[in-house]
Amino acid sequence: MRTNRGFTLIELMVTIAVLAIIAMMAAPSFGDMMTEQNLNKSTRDLTISLNEARSQAVTTRSLVQVYFADDVSDKYEEDIFKALPSDADVDKVKDKLSQRTAFIWIPSGSAQLKSGSPRSITFDITGVVSGANADTKFEICEKSGGKKSRIISISRMGTIQQIIEGIC
């Protein structure tokens, strides 16, 4: 009488086939989860940058500006400055960054700022948004042509309103 010493080739192939089917069913939802996480991270980073800029403006009693960069695949310094709005003076921005009177927000992953959103915002010495006559809204889309988005609203007084889910 022979003792069992392991699995047969057929048993292993059936197990691998079952695992492959389960993995194929899970892959689309994993991709959606990654997109959702990138959108959440971009939204959180924008909120943090705006709060930090506002408190820096009040603390140092100086104007503090936040620039919104386009999608940057490499986060290297030279690419970040290339992604600034075309009207931004790169040398002045570098100087302001070293003095912490400017911040740059960069979206994560495939997330991007919706076109038509402001390209920069300035907080004055009291933490109020300079030059704003109404609330300023920023919409971050999951990707170009994506369906999900997050909307952040900043009042004229500089307070960040509730983050709302939207559709790009």
The pLDDT tens digits for 7-26 are 889 999 999 999 999 988 88
Mean pLDDT of 110-128: 83
pLDDT band at 108 (very low <50, low <70, confident <90, very high): confident
* pTM of the full structure: 0.71
Q: What is the mean pLDDT of the chain?
A: 80
The larger pLDDT score, comparing residue 58 to residue 27, is at 58
pLDDT at 76: 44
pLDDT at 25: 87
Mean pLDDT of 71-95: 59
- Whether residue 27 has pLDDT greater than 70: yes
DSSP per-residue letters across the chain: -PPP-S--HHHHHHHHHHHHHHHHHHHHHHHHHHHHHHHHHHHHHHHHHHHHHHHHHHHHTS-EEEEE----SS--HHHHHHTS-TTS-HHHHHHHHHTTSEEEE---TT-EEPTTS-SEEEE-TTSPBTT-SS-EEEEEESSTT-SEEEEEEE-TTSPBPPPEEEE-
- Whether residue 100 has pLDDT greater than 80: no
